[in-house]
């Protein structure tokens, strides 16, 4: 290929790239959109950057309405969408909605459309689409929506949107797949075009970049002083678990890839033939329970209180296979390392149940240290992962990721306390959701949200950066 032809090809690619990924002004008359179940305004944030104008928003929670108006002061925002007639909503070109995900989420009850309070809100969206017939629709929900109820839920949604007149496409995407935003957050994105006004067959979702690796350090602001430092008990937890790791390495073994349930070390109660709750008193009394202590009780309930909490359930006569496997793996690990574990175990017995569990999600090649890893306190245990991307921000404000290696600003250092280690900050969490410039100055008196509430809202928000790239391709057709 000649230099001239090569230059022309490169220029052509640049023009296409610029059309898809640069901010654009659609026309002298901006496209109008509505933002339903608006939350923090992720859709608003993204579409505003594309030159679009919000003409209506709906958010049922009063504190989020206040925050929305603080960031988008000219918005016509209302409350409960079920109390608003489609006729009272202004005409618009794009309908955006991150409709409630809890009915379909693995973390929720997964009742779907049977959830009378939230599951049927999809039909409110349909009523608005039928009345206004906007050219575009852009919806977001949890990835589990696609497989919920054996795929029936997604079939209902797609069929209903098709009946209203829309060509529809969907894709499950996560910000980390593009190597830009270090958050693993798989969500289903649904785009649609009114068939009378366009052809959805021409639409392509942004291409993922599996060859690119994220780096959590790109969003960390070492100068941020609005931070939550670690309590002494967290430093203690991590110190004890680091000692656990050190012992493993000293004994020429690998850090287990299965969840560590320390209360199972030394236990001998029977769990394979029948779960303890279905056994007779004589079958469980005298066996060894949590941390290898001998079970001694005058009733079955007294005995059950002496075994690990995850083994006390009596709903079914047998544990699921995965639980049997984890119990056996932990018992085998104990048999292999009994000598040093018996000396180490007393250090952890006073911890809360969830802190007695440990999950190493870093593989076998990672350095055997906690200081350079992301730590997250979860109900399933203290989870450790590589500093590439964090798990999805969620609705539980107590599961904020910890960065042990981050140096604290001088003004945040307490004399005699460690100078490194803190939680993900609000500012950094906003970056993970593509909401870099929103007002989250919760230090101002009278601010509508607490820090915990902000994290909950960010965990429920749509990712503005990903929405922006998806929407660009849609409105460019």
Instruction: Give the count of alpha carbons within 13 A of 403, CB side only.
Output: 24
Phi and psi of 108, rounded to 5°?
-100, -160
Instruction: Give the count of alpha carbons within 13 A of 80, CB side only.
Output: 4
354 vs 399: CA distance, rounded Å: 12
Provide the 8-state DSSP code for 288.
Answer: B
Q: What does the buried/exposed string (b/e) look like for 109-148 if buried means 16 or more CB atoms within 10 Å of the residue's CB?
A: ebbbbebeebbebbebbbebbeebebbbbbbbbbbbbbeb
331 vs 455: CA distance, rounded Å: 38
According to DSSP, the β-strands at 77-78 and 357-361 are unpaired
Short-list 215, 234, 223, CA closest to 390: 215
Q: How far is CA 210 from CA 25, 188, 362, 368, in A?
A: 30, 18, 18, 26
Q: How far is CA 339 from CA 332, 334, 348, in A?
A: 13, 9, 16
Short-list 142, 40, 58, CA closest to 95: 58
Residue tagged active-site, from 101, 214, 303, 362: 101
Q: How far is CA 40 from CA 72, 80, 439, in A?
A: 10, 16, 10
> Strand locations in 283-373, DSSP E?
357-361
101 is catalytic: yes
Q: In 3-state terms, what secondary structure has residue 143?
A: helix
Residues marked as catalytic = 101
């Amino acid at each position: 290929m000649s230099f001239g032809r090569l230059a022309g090809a490169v220029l052509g690619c640049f023009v296409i790239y610029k059309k898809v990924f640069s901010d654009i002004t659609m026309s002298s008359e901006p496209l109008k959109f509505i933002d339903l179940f608006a939350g923090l305004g992720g859709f608003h944030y993204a579409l505003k950057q594309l030159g679009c104008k919000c003409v209506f928003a709906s958010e049922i929670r009063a504190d989020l309405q206040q925050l929305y108006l603080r960031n988008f002061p000219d918005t016509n925002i209302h409350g409960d969408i079920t109390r608003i007639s489609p006729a009272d909503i202004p005409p618009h070109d794009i309908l955006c909605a991150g409709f409630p995900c809890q009915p379909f989420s693995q973390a929720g009850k997964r009742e779907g459309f049977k959830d009378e309070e939230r599951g049927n809100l999809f039909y409110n969206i349909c009523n608005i689409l039928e009345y206004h017939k906007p050219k575009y629709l852009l919806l977001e929900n949890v990835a589990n929506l696609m497989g919920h109820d054996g795929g029936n839920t997604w079939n209902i949604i797609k069929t209903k949107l098709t009946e209203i007149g829309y060509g529809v496409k969907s894709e499950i995407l996560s910000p980390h797949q593009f190597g830009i935003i270090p958050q693993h957050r798989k969500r289903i994105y649904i785009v649609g075009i009114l068939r009378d006004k366009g052809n959805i067959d021409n639409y392509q979702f942004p291409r993922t970049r599996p060859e690119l690796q994220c780096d959590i350090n790109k969003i960390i602001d070492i100068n941020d002083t609005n931070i939550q430092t670690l309590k002494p008990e967290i430093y203690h937890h991590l110190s004890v678990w680091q000692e656990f790791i050190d012992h493993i390495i000293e004994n020429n073994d690998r850090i287990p890839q299965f969840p560590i349930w320390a209360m199972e070390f030394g236990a001998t109660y029977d769990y394979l033939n029948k779960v303890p709750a279905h056994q007779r008193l004589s079958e469980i009394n005298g066996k060894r329970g949590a941390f290898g202590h001998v079970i001694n009780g005058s009733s079955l309930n007294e005995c059950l209180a002496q075994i690990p909490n995850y083994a006390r359930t009596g709903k079914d006569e047998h544990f699921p296979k995965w639980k049997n496997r984890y119990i056996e793996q932990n018992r085998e690990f104990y048999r292999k390392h009994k000598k040093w574990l018996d000396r180490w175990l007393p250090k952890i017995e006073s911890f809360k149940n969830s802190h007695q569990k440990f999950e190493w999600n870093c593989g076998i090649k990672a350095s055997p240290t906690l200081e350079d890893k992301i730590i997250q306190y979860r109900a399933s245990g203290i989870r450790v992962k590589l500093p590439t991307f964090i798990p999805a921000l969620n609705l539980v404000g107590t599961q904020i990721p910890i960065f042990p290696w981050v140096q604290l600003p001088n003004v945040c250092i307490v004399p005699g306390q460690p100078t490194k280690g803190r939680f993900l900050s609000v500012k950094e969490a906003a970056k993970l959701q593509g909401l870099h410039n929103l007002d989250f100055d919760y230090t101002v008196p009278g601010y509508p949200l607490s820090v915990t509430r902000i994290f909950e809202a960010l965990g429920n928000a749509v990712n503005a950066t990903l929405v922006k790239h998806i929407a660009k391709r849609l409105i460019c057709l």
